[in-house]
Amino acid sequence: MSTGINSEKVLEVKGLSKQYKKGVYASQGVTFDVHKGEIFALIGPNGAGKTTTIRMISTLLKATEGDAIVDGHSILTEPDKVRKAITYLPDEAGAYKSMTGIAYLEFMAGIYSDNKEQIKEYVQRASEISELGERLKDKIGTYSRGMIRKLLLARAMMPKPALAILDEPTSGLDIINALDIRRMIKKLAAQGMSFLLSSHNMLEIEFVSDRVGIIAKGHLLEVGTAEELKEKYQTKNLEEVFEKVVTR
Amino acid sequence: MKFVNLYKKELREMITPTTILILVLMYVGMTMMGSFMGDAVDKTIKDSSKIVICDQDNTEFTKSVIELMKKPAGGDSENEVKLVDIQSEDYASELDRLDISDVVIIPKGFTDEVEQGKTAGFIYVDKLTSLSTMANMSTGSSMAKNLIEISVTSALYGKKVAAGQLTTDEIKQLEVPVEITEKTVVSKNTEDIASQMVVSLKTMENMFLPIIVFLLIVYSSQMVLGAVSTEKIDKTLETLLSAPVSRMAVLSSKMLAAGTVAALYAVVMMFSMGNLRNAVPTGDNNYEEQLKALGLTLSGADYIFIGMQMFVSILIALAVALVLGVLAKDAKSGQSLLLPIQMMSMVPYMLSMFVDIRTLDPLPIRFLIYAIPFTHTFMSSENLMFGHWGLYWAGLAYQLVLLVVCMGFAIHVFTSDKIFTLSLGNGKKKKGGLFGKKNVIDESDQ
């Protein structure tokens, strides 16, 4: 449980829907909120609508119904301001292989700020978060999957966003790298950063998140802490809760 | 058995629907080009039996020469001889007036010169309208030059040999019985130079410009297609587009970077090819002056006009490549998607080398080739040299309209959800995974 949570809402999702064709919804009427310093996790099976919901909040896809307010800005009417308030780490994302780690961080810092001092500060912070040390001077093409994920996570954290959106942050990583990243997320949340995660990994979610939203068939079916949900469904773990919710 | 299994697996991976599409397109494309070129060869063969003569001497001897032209000795075929009257030495106007492309002029006094044992002279005027290979194959009138020479030699042998002894002058006359003055007409200009010489001199230049255009179109589109497809596949595009930067800035930076590298290539290639051309001696500096007088050299302004069409072509290619890059599912499909652009530049490139596209028959085929935007760039240098300004401007206007359409579509794709939802073979509905329902899809949650 993150200790930095307060009542201030960083994200308010209100009836968010995405319709690709008439009557065909990728997500429908999704409503939840994320507080400052909170780690909120969306869990669901493949094709449940997690990524679509996350992409709408990240302003990558346009919502067909509903709205989401990020740090006081609507994704529909103020997408530019929303993009300044968030960072997004896509599932299985890569980085520019011909760049060195440090050049990549400098490039991305330049996207988030025009101020040289601030860029320097961002890069410094990202270098520390990534824990990649001297390897930052090497080309990304030589990095392992875990190193790339750490670099990308550091990139997502460096501008200290109001909300960091991480899609499957540890997918495909070995246990050690996955644990490192989970600890990193918890540490930053404790410092007041808010997170919206998506994952298939129930153990990870139970360990890292403050609250969980279970999404299936495009609908958000349950929201609560892992303890609340386990109690409600009389189960020992979140995995069993998930099974009961999505098959009911 | 293991080998057969491995071989089958490799084949299955290599022979994809895209591979089959490429093969079909190549077959259809090459067959179509062969057909166009075949039509051009047919036309040339037909033209080779048409001889246009202006008999200003009008004697029994010249009449017999013309009769020989109609049915050459030892040949089964008959030539169509058209007699015309050239009234002035303004050959450009005369050819236009008579609506002919070449003519053999037998001047007054030709027979007298033959009879007096002098080398008789005649004139061959040829109007060049294109520098393509097929457009400059031998015509009937160029064949007539040889027939005149044979006729005169034959007449001399008949007369002189029958008379008994040959003098030294007569032997010399038999060796060089006629002297041909060849003139070439381009638009309104006439120069004393053989049309075949003009074509030979221009061949190098005629080759290198289309090569540059072809390479630039293919190379620049490959860069943008690769950049977009790689970013989409690696999901670095999602990272960028969720950052505080406008999509138009991301789009235009990609296009501009590809355009800059393409321009760099263009400049280096122009200079390299220029050096290559200069290294080949023309033998006679006067030729350069004659080409200039015919309007067959490109001025600085001409290069700007060509550059304009080249630039617009590259932008069209970049816009199309951008959309194709969005369609790519993986690196392999990304490369395959380049095929439409390669074919669209290959067809006019090859055609412009061999045939005069302006005269392609039938008309729908000509307009089909004109519909390919890159065609106009491949034709640009000829259009300028031969003064086909109407065609140049119409081509540029068409390219600009197409550019607006392609760019508009590319911007629409890039600034809408399509950048993430569009991909080849994505038309089928996903069934929502293990727990999914048919009416709920997540096109992006893959």
How confident is the model at residue B442, as a pLDDT? 38
List chain B residues with CB under 8 Å of A155: 239
Calculate mean pLDDT across residues B215-235: 86
Quick one: pLDDT at residue B282? 56
Which of A19, A59, A83 should be substituted to probe chain B, the one whose Cβ sees the most B Cβ atoms within 10 Å?
A: A83
- Mention every residue, 6+ apart, whose C-beta is less than 8 A from residue B428: none
Q: Which of A27, A94, A216 is nearest residue B435 as measured by Cβ atoms? A: A216
Task: Report chain A's terminal Cα–Cα distance, integer Å.
Answer: 28
Q: Is B439 within 8 Å of A94 when comparing Cβ atoms?
A: no
Say what the pLDDT of residue B370 is.
Answer: 92
Choosing among B428, B430, B442, which should be mutated to test the A contact, i.e. which has the most A CBs within 10 A?
Answer: B442
Return the pLDDT at B139.
62
Query: Starting from the edge strand earliest in sequence, which strands make up the sheet with A211-216, in order?
Result: A86-89, A163-167, A194-199, A39-43, A211-216, A219-224
Residue type, B289: E
User: How much of chain A is in helix, strand and coil states, percent to nearest 5?
Assistant: 40, 25, 30
Considering only CB atoms, A95 lies closest to which of B236, B244, B417, namely B236
Measured between CA atoms, the residue of chain B closest to residue A25 is: B440
The confidence score (pLDDT) of residue B427 equals: 43
Q: Rounded distance, CA B45 to CA B42, Å?
A: 5
Three-state DSSP string of B18-30: HHHHHHHHHHHHH
Residue A47 has its nearest CB partner, among B240, B421, B433, at B433
pLDDT of residue B48: 65
User: What phi, psi does A114 have (nearest 5°)?
Assistant: -100, -10
Residue A37 to residue A160: CA distance in whole angstroms: 12
Residues with Cβ < 8 Å from B271, sequence gap 6 or more? none
Q: Using CB atoms, pick whichever of A84, A94, A111 lies closest to residue B235.
A: A94
For residue B159, the 8-state DSSP code is: I
The answer to whether the CB of B149 falls within 8 A of the CB of B124 is no
**Interval B27-44 mean pLDDT:** 75
Distance CA(A106)–CA(B104), nearest Å, equals: 75
Number of domains in chain A: 1
* Distance of alpha carbon B423 from alpha carbon A24, whole angstroms: 18
Q: Is the residue at A97 inside a domain?
A: yes
* pLDDT per residue as tens digits for the range A135-169: 999 999 999 988 898 899 899 989 989 999 999 88
What is the structure's pLDDT at B356? 82
**Cα end-to-end distance, chain B, whole Å:** 36
Task: Give A7 to chain B, closest Cα distance, Å.
Answer: 26
To which H or E segment does residue B59 belong?
none
Polymer length of chain B = 446
**Domains, chain B, with CATH or none:** 48-192 (3.40.1710.10), 201-421 (no CATH)
User: pLDDT value at position B401?
Assistant: 96
Mean per-residue pLDDT, B38-58: 76
Query: Quick check: is A49 in a domain?
Result: yes
Q: Which of B373, B370, B312 is nearest to B340 (CA)?
A: B373
pLDDT at B172 over 80: no
Assess if residue A236 is contained within a domain.
yes
ipTM: 0.89
Select from A23, A26, A80 the Cβ nearest to the Cβ of B443.
Answer: A26
CB pairs under 8 A between A and B: 122
A24, A25, A55: residue with CB nearest B444: A55
CA B117 to each of CA A100, B148, B374: distance values in angstroms, whole numbers, following the listed order: 87, 16, 57
Question: Nearest-CA distance from B253 to chain A in Å?
Answer: 13
CB contact under 8 A, A96 and B236: yes
CB of A133 closer than 8 Å to CB of A154 = no
The residue among B73, B77, B67, B137 whose CA lies nearest residue B101 is B137
Nearest CA in chain B to A94: B234
* Res B432 pLDDT > 60: no
Residue B439 predicted with pLDDT over 50 = no
Q: Which residues on A lie below 8 Å from B434 (Cβ)?
A: 45-46
What pLDDT is stored for residue A33 in this prediction?
A: 92
Nearest residue in B to A85, CA atom = B244
Q: Residue A72 sits in which domain range?
A: 9-247
What is the reported pLDDT for A180?
Answer: 83
For residue B220, what pLDDT is reported? 85
Which position has the higher pLDDT, B373 or B21?
A: B373
B233 min Cα distance to partner chain A (Å): 9
What is the rounded CA–CA span in Å between residue A105 and residue A82?
Answer: 21
Position A40 scores a pLDDT of 95
pLDDT digits over B91-140, tens only? Answer: 888 888 888 888 888 888 888 887 777 778 888 888 887 777 666 665 66
| Confidence check: pLDDT of B231 > 70 | yes
Write down the pLDDT at residue B360.
Answer: 78
Determine the residue type at B316: I
**Region B414-427: what's the mean pLDDT?**
74
Minimum Cα–Cα distance from A82: chain B residue: B244
Cβ contact B442–A152 (<8 Å):
no
Amino acid A2: pLDDT: 52
Cis peptide preceding B362, ω within 30 of 0: yes
- The answer to whether B236 contacts A47, with C-beta atoms less than 8 Å apart, is no
Q: What is the pLDDT of residues B326-377, one digit of tens each?
A: 888 776 777 777 888 888 888 888 888 878 888 877 788 888 889 999 999 9
User: What is d(CA B424, CA B324) in angstroms, rounded to the nearest whole number?
Assistant: 9
For testing the chain A interface, which of B230, B440, B443 should be mutated: the one with the most A CBs within 10 Å?
Answer: B440
Could you tell me which residue, B40 or A157, shows the higher pLDDT?
A157
Cβ burial A99-108 (10 Å sphere, 16+ → b, else e): bbbbbbbbbb
Instruction: Give chain B's contact residues with A (Cβ, < 8 Å).
Output: 234-236, 238-246, 416-417, 420-421, 429-437, 439-446
- The encoded tokens of residue B245 equal 């930067």
Compute the distance between CA of residue A55 and CA of residue B238 in angstroms, rounded to an integer: 9
Among B245, B420, B432, the residue with its CB nearest the CB of A55 is B420
Contact at CB, B242 and A88, closer than 8 angstroms: yes
Residue with tokens 């030699």: B153
Which residues in chain A are closer than 8 Å to B443, comparing Cβ atoms? 20, 26, 52
Residue whose C-alpha is closest to residue A25's, from A76, A66, A72, A79: A66
Q: What's the CATH number where A116 sits? A: 3.40.50.300
Mean pLDDT of successive 10-residue stretches along chain A, which has 248 residues: 68 91 83 93 87 93 92 92 93 88 94 91 91 91 89 91 91 81 87 89 86 90 90 88 83
DSSP readout, B76-133?
S---EEEE----SS-HHHHHHHHT-SEEEEE-TTHHHHHHTTPPEEEEEEEE----ST
